[in-house]
Copies of this chain bind each other. A is one copy, B any other.
Amino acid sequence: MAAPLLCARDLQFMLYELFDSESLTQRPRYADHSVETFNAAIDTAQSIAEKYFLPIRKKVDEQQPTFDGKNVHMIPEIKVAVDAATQAGFVSSTSDYELGGMQLPLIVAGVASSYLSAAGSTTMGYLALSSANANLIENHGSAEQIETWVKPIRSGRFAGTMAMTEPSAGSGLADLTTTAIPAGDGTYRIRGNKIFISGGDHELNENIVHLVLARIKGAPAGVKGISLFIVPKILVNADGSLGERNDVALAGLFHKMGGRGQTSTALSFGENDGAVGYLVGEEHRGLSYMFHMMNEARVMVGTNAACTALTGYQYSLDYARERLQGRLPSCKDPSSAPVNIVEHADVRRMLLAQKAYAEGAFALCMLGSQLADDKNTALSEKERLDAHTLLDFLTPIIKTWPSEYGPKANDLAIQILGGHGYINEHPVEMFYRDNRLNPIHEGTTGIQSLDLLGRKLPMNNLAGYRAFLATVQSTIDEALTGDLAPIADNLSGAVATLEKTTEHLLGAMLEKPIDLVMANSVKYLELFGHVVIAWLWLRQGLVAQSGLAAKPHEADTHFYLGKLQAMKYFYNFELPLIDVWSKNLLDLDATFYEMDNNWF
Residues of B near A520 (CB, < 8 A) are: 345, 349
Q: Is A329 an interface residue (CB 8 A)?
A: yes
Q: Is A184 an interface residue (CB 8 A)?
A: no
The residues in A between 347 and 403 inclusive whose CB is less than 8 angstroms from any CB of B are 347-349, 351-352, 355
List 14 additional contacts besides A220-B334, A432-B436; criterion CB under 8 Å.
A174-B326, A174-B327, A221-B335, A256-B423, A256-B424, A329-B450, A329-B454, A330-B515, A346-B450, A349-B522, A352-B600, A411-B436, A429-B436, A573-B589
Q: Mark A405-417, 1 if CB is under 8 A from B, else 0.
A: 0010001001100
- Whether A591 lies near B562 (C-beta < 8 A) is no
CA distance A327 to B223 in the complex (A): 13
Residues of B near A112 (CB, < 8 A) are: none
Q: Mark A445-464, 1 if CB is under 8 A from B, else 0.
A: 11001100010000000000
Q: Which of B171, B257, B579 contacts A424, CB < 8 Å?
A: B257
- Whether B519 lies near A419 (C-beta < 8 A) is no
Q: Is A115 an interface residue (CB 8 A)?
A: no
- With CB as the reference atom, state the residue of chain B lying closest to A317: B600
Q: Is A255 an interface residue (CB 8 A)?
A: yes
Q: How many copies does the complex hold?
A: 2
Q: Which of B454, B562, B587 contacts A600, CB < 8 Å?
A: B562
Q: Which of B256, B515, B565 contacts A328, CB < 8 Å?
A: B515
CA distance A255 to B61 in the complex (A): 13
Q: Which of B352, B440, B559 contacts A418, CB < 8 Å?
A: B440
- Whether A334 lies near B257 (C-beta < 8 A) is no
Give, as a whole number of angstroms, the nearest-CB distance from A253 to chain B.
Answer: 10
CA distance A515 to B415 in the complex (A): 20
Q: Which of B257, B335, B340, B429 contacts A422, CB < 8 Å?
A: B257
Residues of B near A565 (CB, < 8 A) are: 591, 594-595, 599
Top 6 A-B pairs ranked by shortest CB distance? A222-B334, A562-B599, A345-B519, A172-B326, A257-B429, A346-B446
Q: Is A597 an interface residue (CB 8 A)?
A: yes
- Whether B572 lies near A589 (C-beta < 8 A) is yes
Residues of B near A199 (CB, < 8 A) are: none
A-B contact pairs, 7 of them (CB 8 A): A174-B327, A222-B334, A223-B334, A255-B423, A257-B433, A346-B450, A572-B591
Residues of B near A600 (CB, < 8 A) are: 317, 342, 351-352, 355, 562
Choose among A317, A419, A433, A568 the residue with the greatest number of B CB atoms under 10 Å from its CB.
A419
Give, as a whole number of angstroms, the nearest-CB distance from A76 to chain B.
Answer: 24
Residues of B near A587 (CB, < 8 A) are: 572
- With CB as the reference atom, state the residue of chain B lying closest to A225: B334
Residues of B near A592 (CB, < 8 A) are: 345-346, 348-349, 352
Q: Is A19 an interface residue (CB 8 A)?
A: no
The residues in A between 565 and 588 inclusive whose CB is less than 8 angstroms from any CB of B are 565, 568-569, 572-573, 576-577, 579-580, 583-584, 587
Residues of B near A445 (CB, < 8 A) are: 415
- With CB as the reference atom, state the residue of chain B lying closest to A560: B599
The residues in A between 188 and 227 inclusive whose CB is less than 8 angstroms from any CB of B are 195-196, 220-224
- Whether B561 lies near A584 (C-beta < 8 A) is no
Q: Is A325 an interface residue (CB 8 A)?
A: yes
Q: Is A28 an interface residue (CB 8 A)?
A: no
Residues of B near A436 (CB, < 8 A) are: 411, 414, 422, 429, 432
Q: Is A598 an interface residue (CB 8 A)?
A: yes
Q: Is A264 an interface residue (CB 8 A)?
A: yes
Give, as a whole number of angstroms, the nearest-CB distance from A206 to chain B.
Answer: 28
- Whether A522 lies near B257 (C-beta < 8 A) is no
CA distance A343 to B598 in the complex (A): 11
Q: Is A143 an interface residue (CB 8 A)?
A: no
CA distance A476 to B169 in the complex (A): 48
Give, as a whole number of angstroms, the nearest-CB distance from A13 to chain B.
Answer: 14
CA distance A17 to B420 in the complex (A): 42
Give, as a whole number of angstroms, the nearest-CB distance from A71 to chain B.
Answer: 21
Give, as a whole number of angstroms, the nearest-CB distance from A154 to chain B.
Answer: 29
Q: Which of B340, B342, B422 contacts A440, CB < 8 Å?
A: B422
- With CB as the reference atom, state the residue of chain B lying closest to A351: B600
Give, as a whole number of angstroms, the nearest-CB distance from A22 to chain B.
Answer: 26
- With CB as the reference atom, state the residue of chain B lying closest to A420: B170
Q: Is A482 an interface residue (CB 8 A)?
A: no
- Whether B432 lies near A591 (C-beta < 8 A) is no
Give, as a whole number of angstroms, the nearest-CB distance from A414 to chain B.
Answer: 7
- Whether B596 lies near A558 (C-beta < 8 A) is yes
Q: Is A338 an interface residue (CB 8 A)?
A: yes
Q: Mark A218-239, 1 if CB is under 8 A from B, else 0.
A: 0011111000000000000000
- With CB as the reference atom, state the residue of chain B lying closest to A195: B419
The residues in A between 24 and 50 inclusive whose CB is less than 8 angstroms from any CB of B are none
The residues in A between 163 and 191 inclusive whose CB is less than 8 angstroms from any CB of B are 165, 168-172, 174-175
Q: Is A285 an interface residue (CB 8 A)?
A: no
Given A170-B418, A345-B592, A576-B583, the answer on whether A334 and B221 have CB atoms closer than 8 Å is yes
